[in-house]
């Protein structure tokens, strides 16, 4: 009867076991190190990106600009926004972006359809 494994091959396989275990251990350690960098890094990246987007939007908003332009600009920037009207011609446009509990806001106040103030806030 022909055997798939010779006795010599079986003895060679046993000799390589410590090498395989150390290699597997090294791969596991590398994976753990990679994951320990990525897991905290993703939320930090999202918060950094949100801050940059909101600050960029707020810096592009100019006092005296029409409220309609600000709404259009917020829609094109792919940011979340909500229009809060006090009366028919005054109110606030709140633009935000963020991840979980770290949200950045740009509040734009307008009167008679024109921007009169803007500010950046951070919700922790």
Q: Which residues contact 61 (CB under 8 A, 6 or more apart)?
A: 70, 73, 106, 108, 115, 118
The pLDDT of residue 10 is above 80: no
Identify whether 109 is part of a domain.
yes
Q: Which two structure tokens, joined as six digits, stand for 82?
A: 């909500």
Residue 83's pLDDT is 92
pTM flag (> 0.85): no
| Cα–Cα distance measured from residue 82 to residue 93, given in angstroms and rounded to the nearest whole number | 6
| Cα–Cα distance measured from residue 113 to residue 111, given in angstroms and rounded to the nearest whole number | 5
**Which whole number is the average pLDDT over 101-105?**
87
Identify whether 81 is part of a domain.
yes
Identify whether 75 is part of a domain.
yes
Note the pLDDT tens digit of each residue in 15-63: 567 778 888 889 999 999 988 888 888 888 888 999 999 999 999 999 9
User: Domain total for the chain?
Assistant: 1
Identify whether 104 is part of a domain.
yes
Residue 111's pLDDT is 95
Residue 114's pLDDT is 94
Identify whether 1 is part of a domain.
no
Identify whether 2 is part of a domain.
no
What is the residue range of 57's domain? 7-123
Least confident window among 2-11, 22-31, 101-110: 2-11
């Amino acid at each position: 009867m022909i055997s798939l494994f010779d006795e010599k091959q079986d003895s060679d396989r046993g000799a390589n076991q410590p090498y395989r275990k150390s290699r597997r251990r090294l791969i596991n350690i590398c994976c753990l190190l990679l994951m320990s960098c990525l897991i905290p890094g993703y939320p930090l990246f999202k918060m950094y990106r949100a801050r940059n987007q909101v600050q960029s939007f707020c810096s592009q908003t100019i006092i005296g600009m029409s409220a309609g332009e600000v709404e259009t600009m917020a829609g094109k920037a792919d940011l979340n926004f909500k229009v809060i009207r006090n009366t028919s011609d005054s109110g606030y446009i709140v633009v935000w972006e963020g991840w979980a509990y770290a949200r950045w806001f740009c509040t734009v106040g307008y009167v008679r359809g024109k921007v009169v103030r803007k500010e950046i806030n951070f919700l922790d």
